[in-house]
Amino acid sequence: MPAPASSLSALLPASAVGREPLSAVESIRLVQALRVIPDPRRRRGRRHGLQSVLLLALQAVMAGASSWIAIAQWARTAPQALVGCGASPSAATFRGVLAAVDIAAVEAALTTWVTGRQAHAQAQRPVRPVAEGRTLLAVDGMTLRGSVGSDGQPTKLVCVYVHAHRLVLTQTAVVAGDEITAFTVALSTLPFPAGVLVTADR
pTM: 0.61
Amino acid (1-letter code) at residue 166: R
DSSP secondary structure code for residue 202 in this structure: -
Alpha carbon dihedral 128, 25, 66, 41, in 10-degree steps, equals -130
Alpha carbon dihedral 26, 55, 51, 67, in 10-degree steps, equals 170
How does pLDDT run across 117-176, given as a tens digit for each residue?
766 665 665 555 555 556 778 888 888 777 776 777 788 888 887 766 666 777 788 888
Specify the pairing of strand 197-200 against strand 136-143: parallel
